[in-house]
């Protein structure tokens, strides 16, 4: 599902979605050495921390809706999608 255009116009939601998308989309599927990313890799841990620190900023207070489990699931989903893309490219 690429190229999805948001219909909502609220600034708080849209800026949060853009921030989450930026973090998730910059997740690497492999290490600098070419090995698959693992949970213990510094890049994975950095991305996890960035996602859990991502807040929806309202006038009265920021809210942090992404806990560690959601962050891990989002990262693994992105890594799997990127690895599937790499596998498809190598098979053609």
Exposed/middle/buried for residue 6 (C-beta within 10 Å: 0-12, 13-18, 19+): exposed
Place 65 in a pLDDT band, splitting at 50, 70 and 90. very high
pLDDT digits (tens, 9 = 90+) for 31-53: 999 999 999 999 999 999 999 99
Domain ranges of the chain: 42-92
Cβ burial of 65 (10 Å; 0-12, 13-18, 19+) is: exposed
What pTM did the predictor assign?
Answer: 0.86
Mean pLDDT of the chain: 91
């Amino acid at each position: 599902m690429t190229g999805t255009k948001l219909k909502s116009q609220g600034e708080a939601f849209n800026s949060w979605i853009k921030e989450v998308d930026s973090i998730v989309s910059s997740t690497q599927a492999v290490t600098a050495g070419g090995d698959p990313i693992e949970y213990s890799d510094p890049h994975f841990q950095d991305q996890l921390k960035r996602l859990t620190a991502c807040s929806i900023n309202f006038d009265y207070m920021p809210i942090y809706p992404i806990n560690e489990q959601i962050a891990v699931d989002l990262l693994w989903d992105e890594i799997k999608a990127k690895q599937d893309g790499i596998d498809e490219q190598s098979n053609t």
